[in-house]
Amino acid sequence: MINRAILVGRLTRDPDLRYTSSGAAVATFTIAVNRQFTNQQGEREADFINCVIWRKAAENFANFTHKGSLVGVEGRIQTRSYENQQGNRVYVTEVIVDSFSLLESRSQSERQQGSSNSQSSSPSQGTKSNSGDNPFGNVMNNNNNSSNNTNDADPFASNGQQIDISDDDLPF
């Protein structure tokens, strides 16, 4: 069986980071994902997908993202149900995130947040895009420009200095 979901969209609010009684971090958030087509008025609609991320990834996600951040997430779709205070059965479908990617630079993200704070039009603002928009920003253009520029210093070139790295510095 295959159950994989890959989403690219903007956060509708800041991630809600909490901790379980055993100390495990869990963050919940909603991603607005644009549909590929427009409605009869020519406007692009969006789907709002609830997501959950756990442990260290949840802490990192909450620290590096905010409302309006463009993110990519990968995970699995999961359904659960519970009884609410009125005794009704409530069904919840959400994406359990395994990994995520930040798809814009910090300056682009701060610009997006600043523009959404200065405008007060509708709650769905920031979710519309033109069909030609590149969801990855200018990342591809920047890489092409830097590879053609031979004046950039190679950070891996040997310049006679010894690199002092201990096992504690390694991320694994």
- pLDDT tens, 72-125? 999 999 999 999 999 999 999 999 999 999 988 777 767 766 665 555 443 333
Q: Is 116 left (phi over 0), alpha (psi -120 to 50) or beta?
A: alpha
What's the DSSP call for residue 168? G
- Would you call 71 helix, strand, or coil by DSSP? strand
5-148: CATH class: mainly beta
Task: Please report, for the chain, the start and end positions of each structural domain, with discontinuous segments joined by +.
Answer: 5-148
Read off the pLDDT of residues 34-69 as tens digits, 9 standing for 90 and up: 998 888 888 889 999 999 999 999 999 999 999 989
Contacts of 14 (CB under 8 A, 6+ apart): 29, 62, 65, 66, 67
